[in-house]
Amino acid sequence: MSPTRITILGSTGSIGVSTLDVVSRQPDRFHVYALTAHRNVERLKAQCLEARPRVAVVAEKAAAHALQRELEAAGCPTEVRAGPQALAEVAEAPEVDAVMAAIVGAAGLLPTLAAAEAGKRVLLANKEALVMSGALLIDAVRRSGACLLPIDSEHNAIFQCLPTGYVCADEVAPHGVERIWLTASGGPFRDRPLDTFGDISPEEACAHPNWDMGRKISVDSATMMNKGLEVIEACWLFAVKPSAIQVVLHPQSIVHSMVAYNDGSVLAQMGNPDMRTPIAHALAWPDRVASGVAPLDLLGVGPLEFREPEAQRFPALGLAYRAMEQGGTATAVLNAANEVAVEAFLSGGLAFSDIAVVIERTLDALPTQAADSLERVLAADAEARAHAGSEIGRLQRRAVS
């Protein structure tokens, strides 16, 4: 069997590092074609020296030239390129079989679309791409015959609980699926008194109790916007309405999601909370390979709890359901407003409890349009960023006066 040649978009991030870990365990099976990073050039350099990809991509030209010189001096044959066009090139290159889409946020949309349009095996971690433009991405997958496999642990779990032969983006209802249970840890604030939410610091929000992740998704987990984005992601991946998806708090993060069938069966996928499991699953699918994840000690994990998330504690979750029901560009608006609000919170310019306020006001202010072209989606994204920025400014002025 010839090896699978892989591009890892966002290789220096949490998912990227876990992907390289899995890939390095199966050197005969997986070859790295390209690695990409935004600003963490030092880590990218170390990754290039180890995996020796054909191409590496960074954001800035000057950084690309510097890295090229350093790699040459170290005898590494990698060619270094720069900029968004180079990201798309390594996603659609004919030498590539599979693309790990692990850039965080809206920045991942264009290269992920490029991989889908080129008919690759698309390993989708970048949920924001589906949230912004689910219709366009799914359409590209259908037209090109690309194979879309979910990396997000919940969606990967759901996929594993669906019948053999099920293809992402096809409806699950004809297979007897009645409901999808999306599990959520509830993040670091699931039990914190509500009247202290205004004082939450970025460090507290980024300290997730069960998962070790990038800063943006960690804050999303703390607000539960992450689960909201995942509801939207599940609607596109499994062709269901938001009402068929039920979010359940499961603080232990052992059951990664469940599928309920019309005969009363509920299938769950379980395992330790370690992203190398879904990554290994999607890389090798339909085979299985070792991932390095410790076996689940079922007798040691203790009781598994399931409870309903409180709407008042997690207003972002309701906003995501609302945006998906609205349809069109509303989910792109939700995503953009969230990214801007999370950045403002992380840099100390917005209270944690105002993240959802900014998103709600932005959703209220901007009219929903059909999300039928990339131009419209990107215009909605830009407009929402501008509006969210002005809402943050208003909240800051109020805090000062």
Q: Which of 6, 15, 109, 255 binds ligand NAD (CB under 6 A)?
A: 15
Binding mask 268-287 for ligand NAD (x = CB under 6 A): -------x------------
Q: Is residue 45 at the binding interface for ligand NAD, with CB under 6 A as the rule?
A: no
CA 290, CA 283: separation in Å to the nearest integer? 11
**Helix (H, G, I), strand (E, B), or coil: what is residue 8?**
strand
- 12 makes contact, choosing from Mg ion, ligand NAD, none, with CB < 5 to 8 Å by partner type, with ligand NAD
Q: Which is nearer to Mg ion, 153 or 329 (CB)?
A: 153
Q: Side by side, which strands form the sheet with 98-101?
A: 79-82, 55-58, 30-36, 4-9, 98-101, 121-124, 147-150
Task: Read off the tokens for 34.
Answer: 């390209």
Query: Smallest distance, Å, CB 301 to ligand NAD?
Result: 19
**Helix (H, G, I), strand (E, B), or coil: what is residue 25?**
coil
Q: Which stretch in 170-178, 210-218, 318-326, 383-391 sits in contact with ligand NAD by CB under 6 A?
A: 210-218
Peptide bond into 273 cis (omega under 30): no
Are 255 and 268 in contact by the 8 Å Cβ rule? The answer is yes
Q: Is residue 125 at the binding interface for ligand NAD, with CB under 6 A as the rule?
A: yes
Query: Smallest distance, Å, CB 217 to ligand NAD?
Result: 4
Query: Smallest distance, Å, CB 193 to ligand NAD?
Result: 27
Q: Which of 19, 47, 78, 126 binds ligand NAD (CB under 6 A)?
A: 126
| DSSP notation for 316-381 | HHHHHHHHHHH-TTHHHHHHHHHHHHHHHHHTTSS-GGGHHHHHHHHHHHSPP----SHHHHHHHH
Task: Read off the tokens for 2.
Answer: 């010839």
Q: Which stretch in 14-22, 73-81, 133-141, 312-320 sits in contact with ligand NAD by CB under 6 A?
A: 14-22
Query: Smallest distance, Å, CB 234 to ligand NAD?
Result: 13
CA 244, CA 224: separation in Å to the nearest integer? 19
Strands 147-150 and 177-184: unpaired
Are 244 and 158 in contact by the 8 Å Cβ rule? The answer is no
Task: Read off the tokens for 289.
Answer: 């390979």
Q: Is residue 274 at the binding interface for Mg ion, with CB under 5 A as the rule?
A: no
CA 284, CA 340: separation in Å to the nearest integer? 36
Query: Smallest distance, Å, CB 278 to Mg ion?
Result: 9
Q: Which of 82, 213, 333, 334 binds ligand NAD (CB under 6 A)?
A: 213
Q: Is residue 152 at the binding interface for Mg ion, with CB under 5 A as the rule?
A: yes
Q: Residues interacting with ligand NAD, by CB under 6 A?
A: 10-16, 37-38, 40, 59, 102-104, 107, 125-128, 152, 211, 213-214, 216-217, 275
Q: Residues interacting with Mg ion, by CB under 5 A?
A: 152-154
